[in-house]
Structure 1
Amino acid sequence: MAHKGRVQTVRDSFQVVRTDADAFARGFYDRLFAKRPEMRGLFADDMSAQQAKLVTTLVTAVNMFDTPSQLIKPLKQLGASHAQMGLSQADYQLVVDTIIETLETTLGSAWDVAHDRAWRGLLDFVSNVMQEGAADAA
């Protein structure tokens, strides 16, 4: 089980994200594609559905952060659905780092070490379980 303080830090900060989740998702993908332009080809031209999927995944992860065992099955399924993309461990880490950067920008001066630690804990868990699901599907 995740530490209660970290769960609360993630949930409180995510409320800021949810006030303009579309802008958060656009900012994330803009950063991701700026770092790795070749990843743009993995997605449809209209990114609105993909942006909504990102937000939905984050909502689920944040809501279940204190009960991670409930996240395993859906995250493994999500990882399996990403298996055909051929993503590497470095790609998953890039996504985690880019979400962190986007969160930091969104929260501005409210972002601190506690936010970084809490969000990395959640996102590393999500990333690791998705990679397990992708490996199982391969």
Structure 2
Amino acid sequence: MSTSLIQLSTEEKAAVKEVWVQLLVHKKEWGLRFYERLFALHPHMQSLFKGNVEEQGQKLVNVLTLVASKLDKLELIRQEVKALAERHKQYNVKPEYYLPFINLLLSVLAEAMGDKWTETTDQAMRKIMFVMMEAVIEHMMHSESAYKEAVESARQFLRIAG
């Protein structure tokens, strides 16, 4: 069902890699900040997470490392995310949880990057999140119309040109 034709420019790929490098350097701090905010804003989500915040932060770093390593092969990211979505489905993660999660993730990453978070960085990260979100939607939506509606909603939410 995929309709995505998202591509990243060389400059956007470099921006994503810079986010990843900064993330690795400060992973404990930003991971803690992210999950503290997530649970403060969405307390119902805390019960979905097993283990401590540091473990969750490391899992998120692992996903972003996967993304940074496959920027030239976005279809591989989609395949990995579908497998991740299946595991999350078993943990009772609802489709409506993903966009608030992504929105907060982008916000925390932008804050952590400070003035290194440029318009190019923002657009590149939104594109990556859209590719990931589209894979989740494809995995969870079984009708073509529901899929298209959910993808369009994600596209608008992430401000991705279509």
TM-score, L = length of structure 1: 0.87
Structure 2 residue identity aligned to 1:114:
T
Report the counterpart of residue 28 of structure 1 in structure 2.
Answer: 34
Report the counterpart of residue 150 of structure 2 in structure 1.
Answer: none
C-alpha contact 2:34 2:108 (8 A) present in aligned 1? yes
Question: How far apart in 2 are the matches of 1:132 and 1:81?
Answer: 15
Report the counterpart of residue 114 of structure 1 in structure 2.
Answer: 120
Report the counterpart of residue 94 of structure 2 in structure 1.
Answer: 87
Q: How far apart are 1:97 and its partner, in Å?
A: 0.7
Deviations 1:72-121 (CA, angstroms, capped at 9, x unpaired)? 22111001111131412x31111111111111110112222221111111
Structure 1 residue identity aligned to 2:107:
E
Q: If you compute each CA radius of gyration, which structure gives the higher value, 1 or 2?
A: 2
C-alpha contact 1:96 1:124 (8 A) present in aligned 2? no
The answer for unaligned runs of 5 or more in structure 2 is: 1-6, 143-162
Superposed CA RMSD: 1.7
Question: How far apart in 2 are the matches of 1:86 and 1:32?
Answer: 14
Question: How far apart in 1 are the matches of 2:139 and 2:36?
Answer: 26
Deviations 1:22-80 (CA, angstroms, capped at 9, x unpaired)? 22221111121121111111112523322211110011011112211222221110011
Work out the number of aligned pairs and report it. Answer: 135
Matched-pair identity in %:
21
Query: Which is richer in helix?
Result: 1
Matched, 1:75 2:75: no
The counterpart of 2:135, out of the listed 129, 135, 138, is 129
Matched, 1:103 2:109: yes
